[in-house]
Amino acid sequence: MKNLRKGDEILFRFVRRNMESMAARYRLPLKRVLPLEKENCARYFGRCEKDGTIFVRVRNASKDGRWKGIDEPYQIIDTMSHELAHLITLDHTQQWFDLHIMILGDMSGRRVFHILTSFHEQRHR
């Protein structure tokens, strides 16, 4: 995580821990979670590879080309559940959608969203 800022590194570790926990809970074939490099992610927040590697970004490109922290905790939790569901199918099928919604609800029930919101508020004080 050599290219992450300190606050981003803390956020990324939280994201990775929770993705690993959810993958274990749902018995998903997660190999590893890595930060998505800036230059490779202008169009999306995450990417799932066929080998079970998931890339997630915690910084967002603004319209002026500068990089800033992702402003909405929902974007992060949605990306986490979105990419975890892709471990079952890389297509956006009904099976993928059902798993995505299930994981998203489970994360909300486990207060992941609340913790991300608190983290977001601390970063913007």
CATH number at residue 91: 3.30.2010
Tell me the C-alpha distance between 54 and 30, whole Å: 8
Judge whether residue 39 has pLDDT over 50: yes
pLDDT of residue 95: 93
pLDDT tens per residue across span 40-64: 555 678 889 999 999 988 765 455 4
Total domain count, the chain? 1
pLDDT of residue 76: 81
Residue 39 sits in which domain range? 6-123
| Predicted TM-score (pTM) of this structure | 0.81
Strands 59-61, 32-35: pairing is unpaired
Which residue bears the tokens 């890389």?
90
pLDDT band at 120 (very low <50, low <70, confident <90, very high): low
Q: Per the domain annotation, does 1 fall within a domain?
A: no
Q: Per the domain annotation, does 57 fall within a domain?
A: yes
Q: H-helix or E-strand containing 48?
A: strand 46-48
Output the CA torsion 109→120→27→101 (10° steps). 60
CB 17, CB 33: distance < 8 Å: no
